[in-house]
């Protein structure tokens, strides 16, 4: 019963249960940000993307390894202290780079540092 209550609380807070367990916290640098894309199926929530990489050289391998085994996974990213959901995908020809896809109306620009909360790597 306690676990069910925790899951309900996490969902109501906008946090995936997978992200409530073991997580990796990484600062990441934005390389490129898209404009808002409107499609017929996304009229109420425009789609955005950001190309990113590790912010600290010491975390390059951590992010690269996570991306290799977890591409397409739901993550949380933090901008100005606010948490937003997104999906992080590996860029196969760009070592240690990720493509963050999201719908939140977040204002970021190249060279900004955002926080990423990644679920623990799958085994």
Per-residue pLDDT of the chain (123 residues; tens, 9 = 90+): 333 333 333 333 444 444 456 899 999 999 999 877 666 665 677 889 999 999 999 999 999 999 999 999 999 999 999 999 999 999 888 778 999 999 998 999 999 999 999 998 766
Note whether residue 10 is domain-resident: no
Q: How many domains does the chain have?
A: 1
Note whether residue 103 is domain-resident: yes
Check: CB of residue 62 under 8 Å from CB of residue 54: yes
State which residues form the domain around 48: 17-119
What is the pTM assigned to this prediction?
0.77
Q: Which residues contact 8 (CB under 8 A, 6 or more apart)?
A: none
Sign of CA dihedral 45, 48, 54, 55: negative
CB neighbour class for 103 (10 Å; exposed up to 12, middle 13-18, buried from 19):
middle
Note whether residue 12 is domain-resident: no
Question: 109: which 2 tokens?
Answer: 């620009």
d(CA 67, CA 61) in angstroms, rounded, equals: 10
Note whether residue 1 is domain-resident: no
The CATH code of the domain that includes 73 is 2.40.10.190
Q: What does the pLDDT read at residue 8?
A: 33
Note whether residue 44 is domain-resident: yes
């Amino acid at each position: 019963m306690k676990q069910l209550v925790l899951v309900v609380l996490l969902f109501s807070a906008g946090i995936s249960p997978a992200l409530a367990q073991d997580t990796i916290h990484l600062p990441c640098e934005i390389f490129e940000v898209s404009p808002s894309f409107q499609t017929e199926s996304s009229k109420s929530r425009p789609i955005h993307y950001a190309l990113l990489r590790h912010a600290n050289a010491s975390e390059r391998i951590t992010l690269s390894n996570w991306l290799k085994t977890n591409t397409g996974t739901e993550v949380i990213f933090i901008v100005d202290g606010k948490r937003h959901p997104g999906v992080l995908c590996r860029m196969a020809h760009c070592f240690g780079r990720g493509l963050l896809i999201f719908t939140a109306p977040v204002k970021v620009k190249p060279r900004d540092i955002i926080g990423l909360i990644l679920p623990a790597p799958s085994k």
